[in-house]
Structure 1
């Protein structure tokens, strides 16, 4: 399966995700939905933030030119919010999965989709 298929079928195809991106840890864009244009700088900063999330509470997370407020995270997951919308990100061995969602979709619905795909990619050494 191509990276674009993961975006189109697994993330966007779930019906819960409104925008999606898959990128390498170095900020290289692997695939994305048509309605977002993330910068390499945004992707690199996000990928590097998984190991140290302290600054995110002050700066937020920028993606596609939009600022999301940092809610919480672990070394594998970052959760953000913007009004009634949100963003759920997961870091795998080689990639970062980014999924945005809008009201009335609830964060656990998107978390389940993103983390299931992330765990699958980890099992495939991605």
Structure 2
């Protein structure tokens, strides 16, 4: 499967995700939905933020020109919110999965989709 297929079928195809991106740890965009334009700088900063999330409460997370407020995270997951939308990000061995969702969809619903794909990619050494 191509990276675009993962975005189209696994993330967007779930019906829960409004915008999606798969990127490398270096900030290169591997695949994305048509309605988001992440910059390499945004993707690189997000990738680096998994190691140390202390500043995210003050700076937020920027993606596709939008600022999301940091809610919580682990070394594998970052959760954010902006108004009635949210963002769930997961870091795998080589990639970052980013899913933006809108009300009435809630974080736990999107988390299950993103993390299932992330766990699968980790099992495939991605």
Instruction: Please report the TM-score for the alignment, with normalisation by the length of structure 2.
Output: 1.00
- Distance between the aligned counterparts of 1:107 and 1:91, measured in 2? 17
Query: Cα deviations across residues 16-64 of structure 1 (Å, max 9, x unaligned)?
Result: 0000000000001100000000000000000000000000000000000
Secondary structure in 2 aligned to 1:38?
coil
Which runs of at least 4 in structure 1 moved beyond 3 Å after TM superposition? none
User: 2:14 maps to what in 1?
Assistant: 14
Residue 68 of structure 1 deviates from its aligned partner by 0.1
Matched positions, count = 126
- CA RMSD, 1 decimal: 0.3
User: 2:45 maps to what in 1?
Assistant: 45
- Distance between the aligned counterparts of 1:11 and 1:25, measured in 2? 19
| 1:114 lines up with 2:124 in the alignment | no
Secondary structure in 2 aligned to 1:41?
helix
Instruction: Please report the TM-score for the alignment, with normalisation by the length of structure 1.
Output: 1.00
5+ residue gaps, structure 2, are none
Secondary structure in 1 aligned to 2:69?
strand
Residue 84 of structure 1 deviates from its aligned partner by 1.4
5+ residue gaps, structure 1, are none
